[in-house]
Amino acid sequence: MDVTLGASESYQEAPMLDADTLSTKPPRPSFGRWLLLQASAAAAPREVKDLAEAARTDRGFPKDGSPEDVSAHLHRAQASPEMHEAFERAETDWQHY
């Protein structure tokens, strides 16, 4: 937006910045990509690592998927109850990432 100061002066108004723009934290990856990274993450819980390893070998795993996409994939694949529990733990960890 141009703002006129006087007869021949004007300046360009700077865009507004919000907290998200000022954040130094990189954008959070998709849940699917984040989960795949957990296979080699030292701090990941064992059950999440196991789920991540299974995802890495699954050609149909939704790499760019949301938690809902991954959950639907687990249901279609008839994953074990342990894998569903690991998914719930992983989703909570990802939300706090």
Beta pairing partners, 11: 3
Q: What is the DSSP letter of 8?
A: S
Per-residue pLDDT of the chain (97 residues; tens, 9 = 90+): 444 555 555 556 655 655 555 657 788 899 999 999 999 999 999 999 999 999 999 999 999 999 999 999 999 999 999 999 999 999 999 999 8
Place of tokens 């995802």: 55
* Contact between residue 42 and residue 25 where contact means Cβ atoms under 8 Å apart: no
Q: Which two tokens stand for residue 65?
A: 């998927």
> What is the predicted pLDDT for the residue at 47?
97
Between CA 91 and CA 97 the distance in angstroms is: 10
pTM over 0.85: no
> What is the predicted pLDDT for the residue at 20?
56
> What is the predicted pLDDT for the residue at 97?
84
CB atoms within 10 A of CB 39: 17
